[in-house]
Amino acid sequence: MDDFNVEVEKRDGAVIIYPKGEINAYHVSDFKARVLESIPEGEKVIIDFSNVDYVDSAGLGSLVSILKHVKTENKEMKLISLKPNLKKVFELTKLDMVFDMFDDLDSALK
């Protein structure tokens, strides 16, 4: 298994999640737990994918589950800085229609 970690930052009323590594079946429970525990701290949840190269079906499922939880809290969730290969996965699975995706943090904070 490869290294995986998640850092969290608070800025401008948002919680910014910085996963690093692959969001896959091995890491999905840690990823999801870290995001869910951070949700109460901000009005927006922004997940920065700049250090994520791969997301498997378990990772995609966790993102959908997190989004449902965020919406029940009447908050927003945004994904930023997806690499072209990840954008393609979201397009092929039609999840680009489900998630708000932005190129960078400044755009997502607006």
The dotted CATH code for 5-109 is 3.30.750.24
11 contact partners, CB below 8 Å, separation of at least 6: 109
Residue 53 has which token pair? Answer: 């190269």
pLDDT, one tens digit for every residue, the chain (110 residues): 468 999 999 998 899 999 999 999 999 999 999 999 998 877 899 999 999 999 999 999 999 999 999 999 999 999 999 999 999 999 999 999 999 999 999 999 98
